[in-house]
Amino acid sequence: MLINSFQNPNFLLCKIIDLKNLDYASLFFSRIPQPNDYAFNVMLRGLTTTWQNYSATLHFYYQMKSLGLKPNKFTYPFLFIACANLLQLSHGQSAHSSVFKLGLDVDHHTAHSLITMYARCGELHSARKVFDEISERDLVSWNSMISGYSRMGYASEAVWLFGKMRDEGFVPDEMTLVSLLGACGDLGDISLGRWVEGFVVENKMKLNSFIGSALIGMYGKCGDLVSARRIFDGMQRKDAVTWNAMITGYAQNGMSDEAIKLFHAMKDAGVNPDKITLVGVLSACASIGALDLGKWIDTYASERGLQHDIFVSTALVDMYAKCGSLEEAKRLFENMQLKNEVSWNAMISALAFHGRPREALSLFERMSTEGKDACPNDVTFVGVLSACVHAGLVDEGWRYFDLMNSSYGLTPKIEHYSCMVDLLARAGQLYEAWDFIEKMPEKPDGIVLGALLGACQKRKNLEVGERVMQLLLEMEPRNSGNYVISSKIYANSRRWDDSAKMRVLMRERGVNKTPGCSWIEIETQLYEFLAGDDLLCHSIEYHQVFDLLNVEMKREGYIPKLDCL
C-alpha cells in the first residue's frame, strides 16, 4: 500500500493501531503528510487504551492543537483518562475549559472521563459538580461517581450515592458492585457486602476474577476470613489478583502462617507472584519472623526487577527490620531511589524498635529536610515517640508531641497518647501519666491503660494501679492479662487476699489465660507451638533448634524472669 501511494493514510492508521505495535504506528503517523483530527484521535485512543503511554497522549494532544486542528468529543475522553493516570490536574482543568468553549460538556463520554479525572486527582468536589450537571444520567455516570468516591476513600459517600442510584431505578452492574464492595470493606459494613454477594447469586452473575476478588477483599477487610476463603475456593479460575486478595486478607488479619501456605500453593499452581503478592507475603514474614522466606522473596524480586518498586522495597525494609536484620534493612533503605512517607516511617520505627532511638530521631530530622516527596504524618510520630520511650527521653517526647500540631498541623491520636503514657510511666512518673490520661480529649483505650498498669506493677505503685485496674476490668473483662497483672500488683504489696480474689474473679468470669505462642522456621517451613505444649512428639530437628537457642541465649547472658511466669 505504501509502495503504491495509498491515498488515505489517515484512515489506514486505524488498522495499523490494531496491530498493537507502537513503534510501527508512530513511524507510520510521522509519515502522514497532513494528519487530520481523525488520525490524531486514533493515536490518542491507542496510546491511552492499548499502550497506556499517558505522557505521549498529552504530547499528541498539544501537537494536534499546534497544527490548528480542533479537538472533538472523540479527543477529550482519552485526554482526561491520561490526565487521571498521570495525576495532571492542571492539564485536565485547562482541557475542561476548552470543553466548555467547544460546547462538548453535554457529551456523556467526555463528562464520564472528566469525573474520573477529577476524582483520581483528589478533586471530589469538582467531580461531583460535573456529575450533578449531567442532565440525563446513565449507569456509566453513576458508576464513574461511585467509583471516584470509593477509590479516594469516601466510602460513606459511595454507599449513599449507590442508594440514590437504586432509588432512580438503575440496576447495578459488575462495575457498580466492585466499587461498592471496596466501600463496604473500608466501612466494615459486612451486611451490605453480603447483600452484594446475594445480588450476584440471584442475578446469576459470573463470579469472575473482577467481582470474586472484590468479594474476597471485602470479607478480608471485615475480618470474615471463612467467607473470604469460601469465595476463593468456589472460583474455578484464579488469576494473580484473586490469589493476592486472599493472601492479603490473611496477612492483614494476623493469619500469617495461612498467608505463607497460600503463597506456596500459588506457586505450585503455576501463577507467578507479582509486586502485590510480594508485599502481602513480606508483611506475613515480618509478623512471624520468617527470615528465610523473606530472603527468598528479596532474591525473587531482584531477578524480576521488582526490588526497585517503592512498595516492594519498603516491605523488604520492614521485613528485614522485624526479622532482626537491621543492617540489611538500613542498606536497602539507603539504596532506595525513591522514598515515600511509608518508607521513612518503616525505617524510623525499625531503629526505635531495635533500641537505636538517637538514630531514629536523627532520621526523622533527615526526613524533615531531605524527604522532598514525604512529609511526616501521624505514623511518623508514633515511631518518633516510640524512640523517645525506648531511650527514656521525657523532655524530647513532650517536644515532639507538641510539634505534631504546632509545625505539622496533626491532631494527636490514641496511639500518640499511648506513647506519652508509656514514656511517663517508664520514667516512673506514674501520677503525671494518670493526670495526662484524665486530660485526654478522648477516652483511653486498653493499650493506654495497659501500659500504665504494667508500669504500676514494675514500680509497685498500688494507688495508681487500683485506679487503672477498675477501668481496665470494665473495659476489657475478657482480657486475661489484666487479671494476672492486677493479681501481681496486689501480691507485690502483700495483699494476698486481694491477689487471690483476682484469680477467683478470672475463673468466675470464665476467662482463660492466653498461652504464649512462638514460631520456628526449619528449611523455609514454619512450625507453631504454644506455652505448655508437649514437645516430646516433635521431630529431632525441633529439639536441635531449641537446644541451639538455649545455648545462644545463655551465651548472651539471658537470665529468665521467674516472677513473670
pLDDT reported for residue 144:
97
The continuous run of DSSP H or E covering 48 comes out as none
Contact between residue 253 and residue 223 where contact means Cβ atoms under 8 Å apart: yes
Looking at the DSSP bridge assignments, the partners of residue 520 are 527
DSSP letters, 138-191, are -HHHHHHHHHHHHHTT-HHHHHHHHHHHHHTTPPP-HHHHHHHHHHHHHHT-HH
Of residues 527 and 397, more confidence is placed in 397
Supply φ then ψ for residue 529, to 5 degrees.
Answer: -145, 150
Q: Please tell me the least confidently modeled range out of 379-388, 436-445, 525-534, 551-560.
A: 525-534
What's the mean pLDDT in 191-211? 96
Displacement of CA 563 from its chain's centroid (Å): 40
Q: Flag whether pLDDT at 397 surpasses 90.
A: yes
Give the Cα separation of 401 and 394 in Å (integer).
Answer: 10
Nearest one of 384, 429, 425 to 404, comparing CA atoms: 384
Q: Please tell me the least confidently modeled range out of 61-75, 300-314, 514-528.
A: 514-528
What's the mean pLDDT in 289-310? 94
pLDDT reported for residue 561:
67
What's the mean pLDDT in 126-146? 97
What's the mean pLDDT in 4-31? 83
DSSP letters, 515-559, are PPEEEEEETTEEEEEETT--GGGS-HHHHHHHHHHHHHHHHTT--
Q: Flag whether pLDDT at 563 surpasses 60.
A: no
pLDDT reported for residue 374:
86
pLDDT reported for residue 538:
66
What's the mean pLDDT in 140-163? 97
Contact between residue 290 and residue 275 where contact means Cβ atoms under 8 Å apart: no
Give the tens place of pLDDT for each residue, 402-419. 999 999 999 999 999 999
Nearest one of 276, 219, 290 to 243, comparing CA atoms: 276
What's the mean pLDDT in 303-314? 94
Q: Flag whether pLDDT at 528 surpasses 80.
A: no
- Domain spans, the chain: 1-136
pLDDT reported for residue 549:
85
C-alpha pair distances (Å), 50 with each of 18, 42, 44, 46, 78: 9, 11, 10, 5, 11
DSSP letters, 451-508, are HHHHHHHHHT-HHHHHHHHHHHHHH-TT-HHHHHHHHHHHHHTT-HHHHHHHHHHHHH
Q: In this structure, what DSSP letter does residue 409 have?
A: -
* SS3 of residue 422 by DSSP: helix
pLDDT reported for residue 544:
82
pLDDT reported for residue 547:
85
Contact between residue 275 and residue 308 where contact means Cβ atoms under 8 Å apart: no
Q: What is the mean pLDDT of the chain?
A: 92
Q: For Cα atoms 443, 444, 448, give the angle at the middle one, nearest 5 degrees.
A: 170
Supply φ then ψ for residue 559, to 5 degrees.
Answer: -125, 120
The continuous run of DSSP H or E covering 209 comes out as helix 209-221
What's the mean pLDDT in 357-364? 96
Q: Flag whether pLDDT at 535 surpasses 70.
A: no
Contact between residue 215 and residue 224 where contact means Cβ atoms under 8 Å apart: no
Q: Please tell me the least confidently modeled range out of 305-319, 476-490, 535-549.
A: 535-549
Contacts for 414 with CB less than 8 Å, ≥ 6 apart: 442, 444, 445, 447, 448
What's the mean pLDDT in 171-184? 98
Q: For Cα atoms 447, 449, 454, give the angle at the middle one, nearest 5 degrees.
A: 95
Show the cell assigned to 304.
524480576
pLDDT reported for residue 287:
94
pLDDT reported for residue 527:
74
What's the mean pLDDT in 512-521? 78
Give the tens place of pLDDT for each residue, 489-498. 999 888 999 9
pLDDT band at 41, cuts 50/70/90? Answer: very high
What's the mean pLDDT in 271-297? 95
Most confident residue range from 178-187, 425-434, 544-553: 178-187
What's the mean pLDDT in 158-169? 98
pLDDT band at 292, cuts 50/70/90? Answer: very high
pTM of this prediction? Answer: 0.83
Contact between residue 76 and residue 95 where contact means Cβ atoms under 8 Å apart: yes
Rounded to the nearest 10°, the torsion over CA 101, 103, 105, 106 is: 170
pLDDT reported for residue 302:
94
pLDDT reported for residue 531:
75
Q: Could you tell me the end-to-end alpha-carbon distance of the chain, in angstroms, rounded to an integer?
A: 87
Q: Flag whether pLDDT at 106 surpasses 80.
A: yes
Q: Flag whether pLDDT at 534 surpasses 80.
A: no
Displacement of CA 100 from its chain's centroid (Å): 38
pLDDT band at 344, cuts 50/70/90? Answer: very high
What's the mean pLDDT in 114-137? 97
Contacts for 345 with CB less than 8 Å, ≥ 6 apart: 377, 379, 380, 383
- As to burial, measured by CB atoms within 10 angstroms (0-12 exposed, 13-18 middle, 19+ buried), residue 221 is buried
Of residues 516 and 506, more confidence is placed in 506
How many other CB atoms are found less than 10 A from the CB of residue 523? 6
Is the CATH number of domain 1-136 1.25.40.10?
yes
Contact between residue 29 and residue 4 where contact means Cβ atoms under 8 Å apart: no
